[in-house]
Structure 1
């Protein structure tokens, strides 16, 4: 059997960080050094940055780098090392444009590279195993951390410090890595996505607005004034607003600014259940419920859709399969 050929793209993050003499932990490990013992066929350093500093343009650079690797028919899979803070968003963006059965696996670390118990090397080795595994084909973009394999559509960072920081609320991991064995236990739903050219600069402004006790909607009004083309409401419970938020959502819909409703709860879908000023009134006003998507992914999806289909109604039709 021919040995699988895996490309590793490095972008920075904790996995590539060391303590700085001036304080804090900073990205410092170049791509070649990071992946030297990972078993990759080739290594390409895309950038060297903390993921909390990334912009949409940076995320698109990573998408382009992934697609460039997959343009080589001799590549069997791609691994991307990435900071964990926004890994779920970049991985989801890749998943939205990935029209290829070969796996794209994101991984990172919770402990910096100089820590005596650094988890980066093990995570990277696991990610390379998954990228090379025939079982991982057609799963789309994946996140591999702490021995668990998560679908990008479901993955979210659930703990600030734990080594198994990622979870897939409502779904669970799609597989696991045990020593040298890759086991896939389920296959994620992957609705039709986007062509890379449709995303342009991914510059359709979409803001996330949290709901909380007494929220008066002033943030929504400010975002509307700042030119937001779409909004994601991180609503209460099953998808409920406060009175002030409901009033401002109605104003947005009247101005043809689409509003997606996610829940601030960690698990469970957003659904228009309650009247008397609740989620059912949001739906009646014209807001669209994001179902299983958490707010960061709902925001990215709506931004992609508005870049691809500037008409709000067309954008909502485009993303409807992703909200079920």
Structure 2
């Protein structure tokens, strides 16, 4: 029996068309339009098409993602074999990670989009959509959580990052799970997976800003954020997680009141925890009550902290921020 896949469209470049005056493009194509543009989908699955939004991806917010997660659960309960989400690429690394934190099911959820809108030569949306549906129906992709399929590469949502503004190969992760080879899924790895975060439907979205200090940057934003009602702070710091000593007093004060997480602005490698002991080094920050972001960059650390605050479980941050596989035991 041919599998059933639901495509849920949120808008983005993959759904863009030029306006009548030729002054740029904006999302307007529907999920059904995207399906019609890729006849090869019919050979992969019985495809359903649903529009949940038609927005630039910077307009996507947590309430929309909560509604999307509920819809995905309903599709799984109805026997759907896989779900594909199409959206703008600007926030794919964030939305895919949120969905991964919320998704407890077994079915593949695959997020994709396009870097070139359909009016351009070499538009990549159709190929990415076909690749995403191919992943969504492949049994090997079950129990992997949320994936991002882009440029024939399969990424785990918890690792993926957008690293270029225009390249069709903009998405990167330190260890992709696999590739599409001759139109078929070829997996090379499986990412560690944890139970999803259960967020109450009536929980308010907390204010958790990211602060990214540079040279000679004064710590005024810490005080401003706290005065504005921040429920937590995420610091995007230099190197392995280091900050100027002028920031230490206000950070220490903030950490007594709300969770304060520090990440590395390099966006590569794990934030350090026990190497540098100078004032402002990561050992000093931990001693002041701050928490390292583990394997997460600042964008994902913020989202994890927000969901855990909404769930009333911020103490789980350090455990969930460790994405690496456990050490092998003999």
| Aligned equivalent of 1:60 | 66
Q: Which among 163, 179, 187 is matched to residue 168 of structure 2?
A: 163
Mapping for residues 28-67 of structure 1, pairs under 5 Å:
28-36=28-36, 37=38, 38-39=41-42, 40-67=46-73
* Equivalent residues, number: 313
Contact 1:210-1:235 within 8 A present in 2 as well: yes
Contact 2:294-2:318 within 8 A present in 1 as well: no
Contact 1:13-1:83 within 8 A present in 2 as well: yes
| Aligned equivalent of 1:228 | 230
Matched, 1:271 2:259: no
Contact 2:291-2:318 within 8 A present in 1 as well: no
Deviation at 1:69, TM superposition (A): 1.8
- Given the superposition, is the C-alpha separation of residues 24 and 248 from structure 1 closer, same or farther in structure 2, using an over 3 Å criterion? farther
| CA distance in structure 1 between the aligned counterparts of 2:158 and 2:201, rounded to whole angstroms | 18
- Once structures 1 and 2 are overlaid, which stretch shifts more, 230-239 or 276-285? 276-285
| Aligned equivalent of 2:262 | 261
Deviation at 1:247, TM superposition (A): 2.2
Q: Which among 85, 89, 108 is matched to residue 84 of structure 1?
A: 89
Q: Which among 193, 209, 212 is matched to residue 211 of structure 2?
A: 209
Over aligned residues, Cα RMSD in angstroms? 1.5
Contact 2:27-2:54 within 8 A present in 1 as well: yes
Deviations 1:132-151 (A, max 9, x none): 00111111000000000000
Q: Which among 286, 289, 292 is matched to residue 289 of structure 1?
A: 292
| CA distance in structure 2 between the aligned counterparts of 1:179 and 1:20, rounded to whole angstroms | 36
- Given the superposition, is the C-alpha separation of residues 47 and 112 from structure 1 closer, same or farther in structure 2, using an over 3 Å criterion? same
- Given the superposition, is the C-alpha separation of residues 199 and 275 from structure 1 closer, same or farther in structure 2, using an over 3 Å criterion? farther
| CA distance in structure 1 between the aligned counterparts of 2:50 and 2:270, rounded to whole angstroms | 38
Gaps of 5+ in 2: 323-330
| CA distance in structure 2 between the aligned counterparts of 1:307 and 1:149, rounded to whole angstroms | 30
Alignment TM-score, normalising by the size of structure 2: 0.91
| CA distance in structure 2 between the aligned counterparts of 1:97 and 1:62, rounded to whole angstroms | 10
| CA distance in structure 1 between the aligned counterparts of 2:73 and 2:246, rounded to whole angstroms | 44
Matched, 1:154 2:153: no
Gaps of 5+ in 1: none
Deviation at 1:122, TM superposition (A): 0.3
